[in-house]
């Protein structure tokens, strides 16, 4: 069974992040790391709407079209998908104020909040 507890990543004595116990915290930490790893590729997709101007939104490309993208555009496309996951989970994705990959101040309607509410029975 999925553990959706409210545990959050913490920092160890060296300032490194240590994932706490819940599956949700593990998912969130993995998503945060993916956002950080694809930051420059996300910027490529987003800069002046380059990705959407060239290909449409991230849901417009089919697998055959993705297969024909250059490696750099595939990374930009992947970064945009990761950004979408982060946005709907409730993390800062580079579009709003706050550290990349950290929870947004407004959590209304995010998957993170909905799952936490469900887990707590509210």
Domain locations along the chain: 10-120
Distance spanning both ends of the chain, measured CA to CA: 19
Chain segment 49-59, per-residue pLDDT in tens: 899 999 999 99
CA 85, chain centre distance (Å): 4
Entry pTM: 0.77
Asked if residue 4 lies in contact with residue 62, where contact means CB atoms within 8 angstroms, the answer is no
SS3 breakdown of the chain: % helix, strand, coil, rounded to 5? 55, 5, 40
The C-alpha atoms of residue 107 and residue 29 are separated, in whole angstroms, by: 17
User: Bridge-partner residues for 103, per DSSP?
Assistant: 91
pLDDT tens, position by position, 4-59: 455 555 666 666 655 556 777 888 889 999 999 999 999 999 888 899 999 999 99
């Amino acid at each position: 069974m999925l553990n959706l507890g409210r545990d959050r990543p913490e920092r160890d004595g060296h300032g490194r992040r240590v994932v706490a116990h819940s599956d949700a915290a593990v998912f969130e930490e993995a998503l945060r790391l993916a956002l950080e790893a694809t930051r420059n590729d996300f910027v490529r997709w987003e800069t002046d709407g380059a990705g959407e101007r060239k290909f449409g939104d991230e849901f417009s490309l089919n697998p055959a079209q993705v297969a024909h993208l250059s490696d750099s555009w595939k990374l930009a496309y992947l970064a945009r998908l990761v950004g979408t996951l982060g946005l709907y989970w409730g993390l800062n994705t580079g579009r709003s104020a706050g550290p990349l990959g950290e929870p947004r101040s407004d959590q209304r309607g995010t998957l993170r909040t909905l799952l936490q509410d469900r887990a707590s029975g509210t």
